[in-house]
């Protein structure tokens, strides 16, 4: 998984939308955002050497899409 500085636009163009201890939740949200044309990545600073230790995982979005990403996240249950 790319680090924010390795993703297009550089690190200063990415911001944290949310954090969670559940990597699967983060992956789901990134998929939902990408399906709505919001550039998003999962950023995990945790160690994979100890998989039972819970680490926060961040969902990061391109700064230009932060408002749209927040709207999508807040309204994900509405259909």
Does position 10 have pLDDT exceeding 50, yes or no? yes
Which long-range contacts link 18-24 to residues 24+ away (Cβ below 8 Å)? 18/58, 18/59, 18/73, 19/56, 19/57, 19/58, 19/59, 20/56, 20/57, 20/59, 21/54, 21/55, 21/56, 21/57, 22/57, 23/57
pLDDT, residue 1, reads 45
Domain count, the chain: 1
* 2 assigned to some structural domain: no
pLDDT above 70 as % of the chain = 71
The domain spanning residue 18 has which CATH number?
A: 3.30.70.1530
In a domain, residue 3? The reply is: no
pLDDT in tens, 37-77: 999 999 987 666 666 666 789 999 999 999 999 999 999 86
∠ Cα 62 21 37 (to 5°): 25
The pair of three-digit structure tokens given for residue 52, joined into one six-digit string: 């039972």
Residue 79 covered by a domain = no
- pTM of the predicted protein model: 0.75
20 lies in some domain:
yes
For 14-45, how does the pLDDT look when each residue is reduced to its tens digit (9 = 90+)? 999 999 989 899 999 999 999 999 999 999 87
Domain that holds residue 51: 11-74
Q: For residue 5, tell me if it sits in a domain.
A: no
């Amino acid at each position: 998984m790319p680090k924010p500085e390795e993703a297009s636009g550089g690190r200063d163009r990415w911001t944290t939308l949310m954090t969670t201890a559940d990597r699967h939740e983060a992956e789901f949200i990134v998929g939902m955002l990408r399906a709505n044309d919001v550039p998003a990545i999962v950023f995990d600073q945790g160690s994979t050497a100890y998989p039972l230790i819970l680490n926060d995982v961040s969902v990061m979005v391109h700064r230009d899409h932060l408002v749209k990403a927040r709207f999508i996240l807040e309204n994900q249950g509405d259909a």
